[in-house]
Amino acid sequence: MTSMFAPARINRRTAIAAPLLWLAARLAPGQVIDPRTRDFWNGKFKDPKTAYRRQPSPLLVESVRGRKPGAAVDLGTGDGRNAVYLGLQGWQVTGVDLSDVAVAQARQHAADAGVKLDAVVDGLDHYDFGHNRWDLITLFYVHAWYEGARPRSTERIREALKPGGLLVMEGFAGEEKFMFQTNQLLRDFDDLRVVRYQDTMDEAEWNPGRQSRLVRFVAEKTR
């Protein structure tokens, strides 16, 4: 198994194909996991050549620095790179992903790091986000799910965040429907206090080594 802290590279085809699969294989009502999407991601996480950032997100590290730990959920947790980091900082973390291979890796990484992680195999359309449940909600590169599930995805995230809770999101931006649109998150979460918003060209965690258009969004639910 590749270490979550190893350097990584990924080509443009992988970076674009993955979000497309998220959009194309939306879960039907009552269906926990779409097998086509699960198999796609299982294949990606099984393949040691699949390259992406194994280290925790710099945006996340910066956003939670100095913040009192609480209950956190990492939506689309993958191999747990961000969830394990949060656990090391004292957060009570739940990671959710539809790939059972990725969740198994996340559990192993958490065990190796000596942190507790509630890693759940489930689709984000089915998983119960709860109400006023989380002090921190993170979504990294699951922009296609977010876009395909709007406006319900926006509503569920807002409802699940506790007063004073923090929302941290990063993903690809562009004109394609499965990507974040210009100023869209500012409009979707206009009732939250924006801590940081960037629409920029930078190296993406699922496309390192080249410039991509990204949106980074951090906001707090006011009390």
In a domain, 166, yes or no: yes
In a domain, 75, yes or no: yes
In a domain, 4, yes or no: no
Residues spanned by the domain of 127: 12-191+204-209
The identity of residue 106, as a single letter, is A
Q: Specify the DSSP class assigned to residue 24.
A: H
In a domain, 56, yes or no: yes
Summarised one tens digit per residue, pLDDT across range 96-154 is: 998 888 899 999 999 999 999 999 999 999 999 999 999 999 999 999 999 999 999 99
In a domain, 33, yes or no: yes
- Number of domains observed in the structure of the chain: 1
Q: Under the phi-then-psi rule, with left for phi > 0, alpha for psi from -120 to 50, and beta for the rest, what region is 33?
A: beta
pLDDT over 70 percentage in the chain: 84
CB of 144 within 8 A of CB of 173?
Answer: no
* Sheet (strand 71-75) strand order: 117-121, 92-97, 71-75, 134-140, 161-172, 207-220, 193-204
In a domain, 59, yes or no: yes
Which of 183, 195, 180, 188 lies closest to 157 in space, CA to CA?
188
Summarised one tens digit per residue, pLDDT across range 22-59 is: 333 333 334 457 788 888 787 778 777 776 677 899 99
The residue with greater pLDDT, 27 or 198, is: 198
**Cis peptide, bond prior to residue 7, ω within 30 of zero:** no
In a domain, 5, yes or no: no
Classified as helix, coil or strand, 37 is helix
In a domain, 6, yes or no: no
CATH code, 72: 3.40.50.150
